Structure 1
Amino acid sequence: MKILPLLLLLCSFVPTPPFGGLGGSTCVRAQTSGSSAYRTLYDLPYRPESADPYARERCKLDLYYPTDSSGFATIVFFHGGGLEAGEKHFLNAWENAGVAVVSANYRLSPRVKNPVYTEDAAAAIAWTLQHIGDYGGDPARIYITGHSAGGYLASMVALDTTYLAAHGEHPDSLAGLLSFSGHTISHFTARKENGLAWNDVRVDQYAPLSHLRISPLPIVLITGDREKELFGRYEETAYFWRMLVASGHPDATLHELAGFNHGNMVVPAAQLTLNWIREREAQQRKKKP
């Protein structure tokens, strides 16, 4: 477990608005920064076969990727909002960083019920695994993440193998899971759908905690300050990390971002994610003969 001090983080991360934007129809934006060129594609459907009008509305993703390189890493990001709200967006730390970013919407409660939103997240990840190569990306360098509800969705898809199996994929083919303050117990919205109170804690099949398994998938869990986070969010995440380690998972890390609450922890967490990817891939290159 690593506790990152507030002053160190403030020296490294400056909050800025998300780059990119939301489009009402599929469109392309090309941009150039220094010697690097990037293109953004908006509203790509990742469940085009669905007959559900709400799926056709919400099951779309935006793709931001470099056009002057190939074999690049990709970060798949799911927005927060308690599984009841939120829109796809990009995080500023990942702009012009040499990586592609996929930002995906998913269907929301109460218009759909658990586990439809997790199934959507899995479909978006599967789309990335199967199509990022068309844009020059490396399918073996896909990292999944999300904030709050988005972190929960990413964790569920990474731990419960059945969601990606429905698309002929396996989460261990991913390069890493990095969750930003995501539920590790059953999500409170899923509990609310069943008439349960917010503090009626459940660890059932819809909890990442119930799918502990030893795998090569690197797992990085990031929370805000335990005194500033949502109720119990740090503690449940710390327990999840401890159980991963105790179960024999070889590559699990917990970061607590001192001084940051549930909302503003996203900025340092995004930079931490980028730094972690760069450092890990640099180490992997050194190991190759």
Structure 2
Amino acid sequence: MSRRLSLMGIGSAIAALLSGCSGAQVLDHLVAHDTYHGPTGVPYGPDPRHLLDVYQPQASTVPGPAPVVLFFYGGNWTSGERAEYRFVGEALAANGIIAVVADYRLSPQVRYDGFLGDCALALQWTLANAASLGGDPARVMVMGHSAGAYNAAMLALDPRWLAPLGLAPDRLAGWIGLAGPYDFLPIVDPQVQVAFNWPHTPADSQPLFYADTKAPRTLLLAARNDKVVDTQRNTVGLANRSRAAGTDVEMRIFDHLSHVTTVAALARPLDWLAPVLPTVVDFVRGDPKPVRR
């Protein structure tokens, strides 16, 4: 067996495990620890779940104030821990980007207005602290995978969540959605029904509802054959409507990824699965500098 095929087999096995804690632990052992520094378990609000970790690039890799990305993980709005996504923070920090990975309250403790309010608080903290972390407050973006991509989309598209904090979506330099659900009514998943008060879920709970208004610069990535979230309806649908409204949208659909590996490919041990990492890095940095692998 060739080395390439061997690596593909190992990588695919690890990626398949990412849907559970053991997979995250395996990947954590493969991801570098010397490419970043920063505080962990930083409170951004009053709830025990209002904690975040910061991944700052080593000083020698960043010539000036760095761009900043606030990342929200997926998990059907019912599960997830920020420590499981160290691979995202490491990959971004290794490429000169400050990453903030935030926990937020989950269903059934709260409904969608609760976790979106938490995400807004995390963004408020990120904007307020960007400069002290070595970042550029004018180059802050939100990013998420799956349910987390929904959270990021709503902060970037629906002004209701930031307005109580004296903020607006135009404070963002852009937003990034990986395999996100942006148009999912009617709701059939029982867990998601609880999170969104189905059948009393309003149409304005959907990111697509706001796509007719010009939004911050947008990057949408997804797997063509995603078995969890319908890529054509969600990613392509949002991209088309947003472009029609005048939003600057970049979209990439990958043939050889799944719902899970769309985010797993950010991990530098797995970045050969598809060019997810260089696409994200180029979008955030806004320039074609080589991506660190």
Same fold (TM over 0.5): yes
RMSD (Å) for aligned C-alpha atoms:
2.9
The answer to whether 1:248 aligns with 2:270 is no
Return 5+ residue gaps in structure 1 as ranges: 1-9, 22-30, 284-289
Maintained 8 Å contact 1:172/1:215: no
**1:264 alignment partner, one of 258, 261, 264:** 261
Residue 221 to residue 235, structure 1, CA distance change in 2 (3 Å):
same
2:193 maps to which residue? 191
1:273 maps to which residue? 280
Q: Secondary structure at the match of 2:141?
A: strand
Among the aligned pairs, what percent are the same residue?
A: 27
* C-alpha distance in 2 between matches for 1:190 and 1:247: 29
Q: Shift of residue 230 of structure 1?
A: 1.5
Worse overlay, 127-136 or 261-270: 261-270
Maintained 8 Å contact 2:55/2:99: yes
Maintained 8 Å contact 2:68/2:98: yes
Residue 229 to residue 275, structure 1, CA distance change in 2 (3 Å):
farther
Q: Secondary structure at the match of 1:153?
A: helix
Residue 264 to residue 134, structure 1, CA distance change in 2 (3 Å):
same
The alignment covers a number of residue pairs equal to 247
Instruction: State how 1:64-83 maps to structure 2 within 5 Å.
Output: 64-66=55-57, 68=59, 69=62, 70-83=64-77
* C-alpha distance in 1 between matches for 2:100 and 2:68: 7
**1:17 alignment partner, one of 2, 15, 27:** 27
Maintained 8 Å contact 1:159/1:213: no
Report the structure, 1 or 2, having the larger strand content.
1
Q: Shift of residue 179 of structure 1?
A: 0.3
Return 5+ residue gaps in structure 2 as ranges: 1-7, 16-25, 266-273
Q: Give the alignment's TM-score, normalised by structure 1.
A: 0.76
Maintained 8 Å contact 1:223/1:229: no
2:44 maps to which residue? 46
Report the structure, 1 or 2, having the larger helix content.
2
* C-alpha distance in 2 between matches for 1:119 and 1:194: 14
Structure 1 residue identity aligned to 2:56: Y
Structure 2 residue identity aligned to 1:99: I
Q: Shift of residue 186 of structure 1?
A: 4.8
String of CA shifts for 1:138-183, please: whole Å, max 9, x gaps.
1011121010010000000100012111111111121111100111
1:162 maps to which residue? 160
Maintained 8 Å contact 1:75/1:99: yes
Instruction: State how 1:124-135 maps to structure 2 within 5 Å.
Output: 124-135=122-133
Maintained 8 Å contact 1:164/1:171: yes
Residue 257 to residue 238, structure 1, CA distance change in 2 (3 Å):
same
Q: Give the alignment's TM-score, normalised by structure 2.
A: 0.75
Q: Shift of residue 195 of structure 1?
A: 6.3
The answer to whether 1:174 aligns with 2:168 is no
Residue 214 to residue 194, structure 1, CA distance change in 2 (3 Å):
closer
* C-alpha distance in 2 between matches for 1:154 and 1:260: 21
